[in-house]
Structure 1
Amino acid sequence: MGLLARVLRAALTPRSLNRSQTLVVAERLSAATHLVASLELLARGEDRKPGGVNDWSISRQNIRHRGVTAQRFFDVVSGPRASAALHVARAASAAFLLAPTDRWRKGRLIANAVVAGTSIGTFPGQLYGTDGSDQASFLVQAAATVARSSRQPRVADAALWFLGLQSTLNYTASGWVKMVSPTWRSGRALPGVMRTVTYGHQGAWQLAERFPRSAKTVGHAVLAMECLFPVVLATRGRLAPAFVGSAAAFHLANAGLMGLGRFVGAFCAMHPALLYVTDPRRRSPGAAGESPRNDAFPAVAGALAAATLTGAVVAQARRGREVRRGHPGQRRIETRAGNVLAYLPENLGQDGPVIFFESALAATDLHWDWLRRVLSPRFPTVVYQRAGYGASEYRGARPFTLASAAEDFVDLVGHVAADRPVVIVGHSLGGYIAMRSGELLGDRVLGVVLVDSSHPGELDRSPRQAGGAAMLDSTLRLMAPSMRLGLGPLLQVPQSFGHLPADVRQPALTQYRDARLWSAAHREWQATRADFAAFDGQLPKLRARVLVLSAGSTLKDDPVQADLHRELGQAGSGATHQVVDGADHDTIITREDFANQTADHIRAFVLNVTGGRREGSDR
């Protein structure tokens, strides 16, 4: 009992270094991460040359949405020579911080600033070869720069409080994201990770398979440690050594088993700050006349966070009202299921079949804008929003299924097109829903256009799709609650939004940040997984002709899609298959040049199925 009492006393006793020591240890742990990262990237100089994985002429596409000034800046610093120079400067500064230069405040200030600044400059051009450790160590170095910029202890304390709170947030967010996953909750996550090619470890996987209860216990212990991490702050430091020690052991285990060595220095660099700010002894004058810790930062940060959250929730409510008002010219109908569908008809007085557009999962109706602008002057068109998206309403009279989505669409066609023939254009999941709808409508459908469409067998036959499905499930569970909390402005804007017509980008983004879109997407995804799991190999039968449009990048990245797309075409009375070279799953309709190619294929297809002039004879 005496030994157990001493162990418990040691684990529950607040402990920390003094202010100066804490700052130095944090700097050095983080600097080690930067030094290793830069040396690794310098050793792989071929990656930055033409054709390399970090070829800037290709990587710069990732910053197209950041504005002209940012693009010019990163063009200057991301070339092979400039990038190498920045890494040399970062490595040299990190080495200086690791050296015994503790008393040279100005020198360490400059070194911290160089490491932080060069990290900003190099990151966009080094997406392959960087990871979360780079971001964490950047925060440490930036905070250290602030702490070194003043001789006032309260400035250093504010910087250390920032790191302590950031560390707590890192673990808490990571834990609750895992908690959403049924794989983590069931205890299957650890064996699954250890079996992967990227992070797997054969010995650990074999042990997890041999001792499943132990593996489950370890997985649940990780969840508990991360989800409960805020108790470090709530218990006045008593549990800080235990939690910080557990987190450090977790990172060391990941380094040994998964090769995540840089995570040790990056995330453990925040631990000294967390121990310092939770140690109650630091509130009073310490040895050698050290001034008491200043605890103003968490109070100020908490007040600002509360004010920001309140403003974000108010903004989210306003955003929701704006989305529900809809676009000018939109109309609404109520389906037999009680749902309300908002739709935008154009040129309905024009002769010929009415073209209906069926959107992808978690997409806005404005994703079709390039195609709508090209096709509506020539044909009657209708762009609509499925139940729950945008200005449409899902009233939940019965459980949502893909069959009920198709029935809603049939009601829309009957209301808008009466007895006129129709052509259905569907993108991604919208393509499969278009097939389901086309089967119900029978001879009324002259043609179905499947734009990089989903196939109900893709989760079984495509490892790439199966892998993405698990991640998508966890993501969609979190999105709607996050949007309701007003976190929409933090949502990363997909690159495809930057390709949309300038006048619809903001309305599309407003929809994308609306909680209702993500609730609808999660509901549809659950229905999709159930539908695809029950797939018996029989696709919907269409009496109409089918045009299959594949994005070139889709076929290149996932060769299984070629067979899936060919099978989709065979579901109709005749099929044409076209590939839009260079386009990916989104840009095939959202980027003007690819969208124009897609529109040309659709125009020629519609003229063909209606007996009109063939492709090339009319625009």
Structure 2
Amino acid sequence: MSLLARLARSVFTARSLDRERTLLMAERMSAATHLVASLELLARSADRKPGGVNDWSVSQQNIRYHGVLTGKLLNAASDPRTTTVLHVARALSSAFLLAPTDRLHKSRFAANAIISTAAVGTFHGQIYGSDGSDQASLLVQAAATVARSSRDPRVVDAALWFLALQSTLNYAASGWVKMVSPTWRSGRALPGVMRTVTYGHQGAWKTATRFPRSAMVVGHAVLAMECLFPAVFGSRGRLTPAFVGSAAAFHVANGGLMGLGRFVGAFSAMHPAVLYATDPRRRAASTEQPHRRSDVLPIVAGAIAAAGLGTGLAAQVRRRRVVMRSNAQARRLVTGAGNTLTYTLTNPAAAGPVIFLETALAATDQHWEWIRRGLAASFTTVVYQRAGYGTSEYRARRGFTLADSTADFTDLVAHTADDRSILIAGHSLGGYLALRSAEAIGARVRGVALIDSSHPGELIRSARQAGGTRMLDSTLRLMAPSMRLGLGSLLDAPEAFKRLPVESQPSTLAQYRDPKLWSAAHREWKATRAEFDAFDGQLPKVEARILVLAAGKTIEDDPAQAELNAELGSAGSAMVSHVVADADHETIITASGHADEVVGHVTAFARDLREGRR
């Protein structure tokens, strides 16, 4: 047999340890991670003192949204003295598991339980909470605690199966999240990460820059390893050594280059369970292992997953019905581009300008409900859903740009306002779209109200805005596919939704969990990002007067916004500006008190326009 054949046979042969050896390796590798973590934190006790990075008087702000009882428990566990005790207990228990104490079954159960409890108790005492290594090592230790709680081999096998499935899920989820990123698909991710201050490595970055094709191959190899990791269960264990070895090498490389040393032991601690669970020989009893491996857990897990998927998809159908029913009385318009816009027109006979309300990115028409009610008492108001949102339809076939939204809006104005003058009020991205539309429509637009509006230069001039773009990119790529899989029920309702009128909340939440909203938002964000990145400093110029309403907390959190708001106001013939104190970017329109203040400012502004005041 040739050397190459022997090597291939060696690599692609199913391997595993026996049940007890698998459990020992997993709990010891994870215990080593816990030991290092606790020793590191004990050595940096100054971090938990006043002024330190983990000063609990500061970090405890992270638990303010928990219940009273939970808050008290976390507060007690995160006291510096309690934290020290927990880390000492975790370190001693980890050392015990690393020692040759294999026969002390009950003692090892207690040590695993102490480590798991201490890990949970110390998470909130760190300003950034737990990281990936903390979470992975906790899962391993918790599974080992369950395994040691009984001498029944089926209990041990269930715990090992849990670790094997969790490890597979970790890699597959990580890989498919990377797959939707153009940076990873293009091969730019590896040099980009190596260039960062936090996780970078100068030598690796220079090498990746010098050999871009090799860097691309490495990046794609990581993608392939993670995305295809579930193949270990479809190959009768033959591919497991290769995948597990590649994953371990990946973690070692991350530890050496990126300083993520604890990730090596934390994630590799699950690998013995993967080898054990994928070896077909463990399904039958043998002299080495008299009790055959129990495969009940994956069957139960698969049934639960299938039931969860079916329930989620059924819930998605019900949510879609809620969305459709909520707009059953709304009017519809087919635009020149072929899109269908759904809109609601209120108080059509009122005097003064027609007020159009332009929503933010990934927002619903119901976000305007407090303001619509306030303005509709005196003015004709139009609230609409841009193409793709809610019950509106996006049917254009060419590549989408923000100019397409402006064209649709122009058609809506022509259809609903006849020859009357108009005022456009826009929130967030809707503010910038209002400016663009006002420029396109011309003199009929008497006023533009910008409510905590976006500025096309914000990604360049605001560090806070620029910092959130990467997260927004990845989030919007994943949201629509996740909603289509029926995962909408797992999406928590934002706090701002709970401040809307009670009768509006079901429709708002249904739209928020609807794939259509996220598809439309992703399409708009890509166009917005491209336009903002190419911003040349020239804002749309409009003949109308401009009302700038800023949220007080937005100004406090991002000083650059005051200057950006002033520039937005200068785009018109005259400017009026106000700050809505204590409001944030969302509550400025969704909280009734702040919305009332906005209504008052917009009403006074609209009346001044009607009377021709400057």
Is the 2:547–2:575 contact (alpha carbons within 8 Å) kept by the matching residues of 1? Answer: yes
Q: Which moved more, 1:346-355 or 1:536-545?
A: 346-355
Q: Cα–Cα, structure 1 residues 607 and 67, in superposed 2: closer, same or farther, change >3 Å?
A: farther
Q: Cα–Cα, structure 1 residues 133 and 552, in superposed 2: closer, same or farther, change >3 Å?
A: farther
Structure 2, unaligned runs of 5 or more: none
Could you give the per-residue CA deviations for residues 57-98 of structure 1, whole angstroms, max 9, x where no partner exists? 776666676666655654554555555555555445444434
Residue identity in the other structure for 2:235:
T
Q: Cα–Cα, structure 1 residues 129 and 477, in superposed 2: closer, same or farther, change >3 Å?
A: closer
Is the 1:337–1:397 contact (alpha carbons within 8 Å) kept by the matching residues of 2? Answer: no
SS of 2:456 mapped into structure 1: coil
Structure 1 distance, partners of 2:599, 2:28, is 57
Structure 1 equivalent of residue 332 of structure 2: 332
Is the 2:367–2:500 contact (alpha carbons within 8 Å) kept by the matching residues of 1? Answer: yes
Q: Cα–Cα, structure 1 residues 579 and 269, in superposed 2: closer, same or farther, change >3 Å?
A: farther
Structure 1 distance, partners of 2:49, 2:378, is 47
How many pairs are equivalent?
Answer: 614
Q: Cα–Cα, structure 1 residues 247 and 398, in superposed 2: closer, same or farther, change >3 Å?
A: closer
Could you give the per-residue CA deviations for residues 201-236 of structure 1, whole angstroms, max 9, x where no partner exists? 111111111121221121111111112211211111
Residue identity in the other structure for 2:227:
C
Task: Give the Å deviation of 1:249.
Answer: 0.9
Structure 2 equivalent of residue 134 of structure 1: 134
The correspondence of residues 116-515 of structure 1 with structure 2, limited to 5 A, is 116-124=116-124, 126-128=126-128, 130-287=130-287, 289-327=289-327, 330-372=330-372, 374-377=374-377, 379-396=379-396, 399-462=399-462, 465-466=465-466, 468-491=468-491, 493-501=493-501, 503-515=503-515
Structure 2 distance, partners of 1:72, 1:372, is 42
Task: Verify: 1:18 aligned to 2:22, yes or no.
Answer: no
Q: Which moved more, 1:27-36 or 1:603-612?
A: 603-612
Residue identity in the other structure for 1:110:
A
Structure 2 equivalent of residue 27 of structure 1: 27
Q: Cα–Cα, structure 1 residues 326 and 236, in superposed 2: closer, same or farther, change >3 Å?
A: same
Q: Cα–Cα, structure 1 residues 338 and 211, in superposed 2: closer, same or farther, change >3 Å?
A: closer
SS of 1:126 mapped into structure 2: coil
Q: Cα–Cα, structure 1 residues 203 and 597, in superposed 2: closer, same or farther, change >3 Å?
A: farther
Is the 1:41–1:129 contact (alpha carbons within 8 Å) kept by the matching residues of 2? Answer: no
Structure 2 distance, partners of 1:44, 1:595, is 48
Structure 1 equivalent of residue 8 of structure 2: 8
Task: Give the Å deviation of 1:172.
Answer: 1.3
Residue identity in the other structure for 1:437:
S
SS of 1:150 mapped into structure 2: coil
Is the 2:322–2:507 contact (alpha carbons within 8 Å) kept by the matching residues of 1? Answer: no
Task: Give the Å deviation of 1:346.
Answer: 4.2
Task: Give the Å deviation of 1:250.
Answer: 0.6
Q: Cα–Cα, structure 1 residues 29 and 588, in superposed 2: closer, same or farther, change >3 Å?
A: farther
SS of 2:229 mapped into structure 1: coil
Structure 1 distance, partners of 2:372, 2:165, is 48
Structure 2 equivalent of residue 521 of structure 1: 521
Is the 2:326–2:507 contact (alpha carbons within 8 Å) kept by the matching residues of 1? Answer: no
Residue identity in the other structure for 1:454:
S
Is the 1:62–1:495 contact (alpha carbons within 8 Å) kept by the matching residues of 2? Answer: no
Task: Give the Å deviation of 1:273.
Answer: 0.7
Is the 1:54–1:125 contact (alpha carbons within 8 Å) kept by the matching residues of 2? Answer: yes
Over aligned residue pairs, what C-alpha RMSD do you find?
3.3
Structure 2 distance, partners of 1:84, 1:322, is 52
Is the 1:427–1:450 contact (alpha carbons within 8 Å) kept by the matching residues of 2? Answer: yes
Q: Cα–Cα, structure 1 residues 211 and 336, in superposed 2: closer, same or farther, change >3 Å?
A: closer
Is the 1:580–1:597 contact (alpha carbons within 8 Å) kept by the matching residues of 2? Answer: yes
SS of 2:426 mapped into structure 1: strand
Structure 1 distance, partners of 2:596, 2:81, is 38
Is the 1:187–1:217 contact (alpha carbons within 8 Å) kept by the matching residues of 2? Answer: yes
Task: Give the Å deviation of 1:599.
Answer: 4.7
Q: Cα–Cα, structure 1 residues 355 and 570, in superposed 2: closer, same or farther, change >3 Å?
A: same
Q: Cα–Cα, structure 1 residues 587 and 264, in superposed 2: closer, same or farther, change >3 Å?
A: farther
Q: Which moved more, 1:146-155 or 1:393-402?
A: 393-402
Could you give the per-residue CA deviations for residues 413-438 of structure 1, whole angstroms, max 9, x where no partner exists? 34444344333221221111111111
Structure 2 distance, partners of 1:112, 1:51, is 33
Task: Give the Å deviation of 1:271.
Answer: 0.7
Q: Cα–Cα, structure 1 residues 325 and 266, in superposed 2: closer, same or farther, change >3 Å?
A: same
Structure 1 equivalent of residue 566 of structure 2: 566
Q: Which moved more, 1:128-137 or 1:197-206?
A: 128-137
Could you give the per-residue CA deviations for residues 383-435 of structure 1, whole angstroms, max 9, x where no partner exists? 32211111222233654331221222233334444344333221221111111
SS of 1:539 mapped into structure 2: coil
Q: Which moved more, 1:555-564 or 1:385-394?
A: 555-564
Task: Verify: 1:105 aligned to 2:120, yes or no.
Answer: no
After TM superposition, the score normalised by the length of structure 1 is: 0.88
SS of 2:17 mapped into structure 1: coil
Is the 2:199–2:259 contact (alpha carbons within 8 Å) kept by the matching residues of 1? Answer: yes
How many percent identity over aligned positions? 66
Structure 2 distance, partners of 1:353, 1:86, is 66
Could you give the per-residue CA deviations for residues 227-281 of structure 1, whole angstroms, max 9, x where no partner exists? 2211211111112111111111111111111111221122111111111111223
